[in-house]
Amino acid sequence: MTDNTNQTIDWSLQKTMQDITIGEELSPIYIDVTLQRLVMEAAANRDLSLIHHDASMAKATGANDAYANTFFLYGMIERLALEWGGVKTFIRKIGPLRMLSFNCTGDKLAFHGKVSEIIKDEDTVILDVWVDNAGKVSATSQVKVILPKQ
């Protein structure tokens, strides 16, 4: 199931270490890979490689179409963690991010996450993150975040 509404986030909400339970799922983010988005992304992140906005060049490397770059996935993972945790969430580490298949123009992505580990002494939470592309996982990552104690 997908949701195409542009959900407004209540940034006054903040997770603390006391709130977290293992297995808790993050609210997923749904986003379509449009060519417009890829062009905007390339201009903004400065990865101008043609494979990220030129279908013929992307196909020559084995993809079906122009595809999102690593840095787009990184940025979306940062968004996923911040929207879940709140503005006092410090992202300590993202990765290893493993790219398993291309995320091409025309694809619909869903960024998911769940709490996999809680390290109370370090105020740290480990999130398992995955990107769903039409029912297939196209990328996985872990994210280590530091949260306020309370």
Partner 1 sequence: MASDKPSWGMQGTWEQALSYVGKVVGVSQGADAVDASSVRRWLEPKEFACPLYTDEQAAIDAGYEGKIAPSTMAITYGQPAHWQSGDKRFEHGDEPIQIPIPVIFDVPAPFSLSFATSMEMEFFKPLYHGDVVTITHELVSLVEKELRVGKGAFFKQKDTYRNQNDEIVAVGILDIFRFNPVSKGEG
- Token pair of 111 as six digits: 């960024």
In Å, the largest CA–CA distance within the chain is 52
Rg (CA), the chain: 16
CB burial string 79-107: b at 16+ within 10 A, e below: ebbbbbbbeebeeeebeebebeebbbbeb
Whichever of 23 and 96 has its CB closer to partner 1, that residue is 96
Nearer to partner 1, 21 or 93 (CB): 93
Q: Is 28 in the site for partner 1 (CB under 8 A)?
A: no
- By the rule CB under 8 A, 70 interacts with partner 1: yes
Taking contact as CB under 8 A, which single stretch among the options 17-25, 68-76, 113-121, 125-133 is the one that binds partner 1?
68-76
The SS3 call for residue 125 is strand
- Using CB under 8 A, count the residues that bind partner 1: 45
Site string for partner 1, 105-144 (x = CB under 8 A): ----------------------------------------
Query: Could you tell me the CA-to-CA distances from 78 to 73, 84, 97, 113, 144 in Å, in that order?
Result: 9, 10, 12, 11, 11
Provide the minimum distance between the beta carbon of 85 and partner 1 in the complex, in angstroms, as a whole number.
Answer: 11
Residue 95 engages partner 1 in binding (rule: CB under 8 A) = yes
3-state secondary structure at position 3: coil
- Nearest 5°: the CA angle 14, 17, 22 is 110
Q: Is 88 an interacting residue with respect to partner 1 (CB under 8 A)?
A: yes
23 lies in the site for partner 1, by CB under 8 A: no
What residue ranges bind partner 1 (CB under 8 A)? 6, 9, 11, 31, 37-38, 40-41, 43-51, 56-57, 60-62, 70-72, 74-79, 82-83, 87-88, 90-99
